[in-house]
Structure 1
Amino acid sequence: MKLQTLFTERRAVSPVIGVILMVAITVILAAVIGTFVLGLGDQVGDTAPNANWGAEFDANGGENGTVTFTHQGGDAVEASELSITASDSTVFEAMNAAEPSDARLAAGDTISREISDNFGGTTTANLVWEKGDRSSILRSITITVD
């Protein structure tokens, strides 16, 4: 092979490279279209907020008490997307979480819930984020009531 002809060749890009590029573009387009057709693109924005939460239980010196979760930093969270649940369904019997003063909870804001008078024992209280059909436990605390 002559070295001079190698550097003076005037042909375009190899047909093999062209085919590889066309296949890559087709695969990328198929993946993007497939995500939106299957509805996976709708869930991209529905992720749990990235926030730090403190948890505290105040027994109030009796059989009942209050579980309080404090936003300690990170993303602000819509109060309507939060709930406080427990592993034992009798803990918060027919009681709703106390409404926070703001519609969005930011650093320093709290959300709390009182314990039912007839509960005694140990359970786990969870701060749960729910939006649409997605949910996530943001913080948990184990509480014991005598």
Structure 2
Amino acid sequence: MKKRCSFFSEKEAVSPVIGVMLMIVVTVILAGAVSSYANSMKTQDTAPQLILQAKASIQDGYVHIEHMGGDTIAKRDVQVGIESGYPSQTGFVDNDKVSFVPNDNYLNPGDEARVNFTHSGSDIFITFDGSEIKQQVELGEPFRLMIIDSNSGQTIYSARITLSP
């Protein structure tokens, strides 16, 4: 008669308590990893939503921007950029060259903003100048006006404007 090997005859496994504890440990580690990843995600500020309309005239001496509707914006929270020329160059107008009318600190629906430029002796050129910009725009030449929200870094408004007489 053959003797059976007792090595394979005993069928004991890890107890259920240890198995449950291992599953709990794995769950806690996964929850910690997901929580760490979720907390490291930075939420992005949303830019104000508004409708603007802009035009520029040498005769007026400024770029006229009308707030047609949407959120109110604060002057301290925006930057006004001008892009022109070939190859195109972009610069930001100094805040003292930008005025909001009637309230100089906020632009509400129905209000207007003005971006001042200098007009040289000739009738065909204007210049946007400041600490971060020195650009000439010729009569009839289109240029891009951009209004950027400083808090979120997003462009609020961008339009291609043609300089009129």
Indicate which of 16, 23, 32 corresponds to 1:26.
32
- Residue 55 of structure 2 is aligned to residue 57 of structure 1: yes
- Which consecutive residues of structure 1, in runs of 5 or more, have no partner in the other structure? 1-10
Equivalent position SS for 1:87? strand
Q: Tell me if the contact between 2:148 and 2:154 (Cα under 8 Å) persists in the aligned partners.
A: yes
Q: Tell me if the contact between 2:148 and 2:156 (Cα under 8 Å) persists in the aligned partners.
A: yes
Q: Tell me if the contact between 1:92 and 1:116 (Cα under 8 Å) persists in the aligned partners.
A: no
Indicate which of 129, 153, 164 corresponds to 1:135.
153
Encode CA deviations 1:79-107: one digit per residue, 9 max, x unaligned.
Answer: 21113221037999877111440634343
- Residue 88 of structure 2 is aligned to residue 68 of structure 1: no
Q: Tell me if the contact between 1:125 and 1:142 (Cα under 8 Å) persists in the aligned partners.
A: yes
Deviation, structure 1 residue 113: 1.2
- Residue 91 of structure 2 is aligned to residue 85 of structure 1: no
Matched letter for residue 105 of structure 2:
A
Equivalent position SS for 1:67? strand
Would the alpha carbon gap of residues 30 and 69 (structure 1) be closer, same or farther in structure 2, given more than 3 Å must change? Answer: same
Encode CA deviations 1:55-96: one digit per residue, 9 max, x unaligned.
Answer: 221536x4855230416114x332211132210379998771
Q: How many equivalent pairs are there?
A: 124
Alignment partners' CA distance in 1, 2:91 and 2:55: 13
Q: Tell me if the contact between 1:82 and 1:128 (Cα under 8 Å) persists in the aligned partners.
A: yes
Q: For the pair shown, which has the larger CA radius of gyration, 1 or 2? A: 2
- Residue 123 of structure 2 is aligned to residue 105 of structure 1: no
Report the structure, 1 or 2, having the larger strand content: 2
Percent of aligned positions that are identical: 9
1:122 — aligned with what?
142
Equivalent position SS for 2:97? coil
Would the alpha carbon gap of residues 56 and 93 (structure 1) be closer, same or farther in structure 2, given more than 3 Å must change? Answer: closer
Equivalent position SS for 1:98? strand
Alignment partners' CA distance in 2, 1:32 and 1:93: 38
Would the alpha carbon gap of residues 102 and 93 (structure 1) be closer, same or farther in structure 2, given more than 3 Å must change? Answer: closer
Report the structure, 1 or 2, having the larger helix content: 1
Deviation, structure 1 residue 125: 0.8
Cα RMSD of the aligned pairs, angstroms, is 3.6
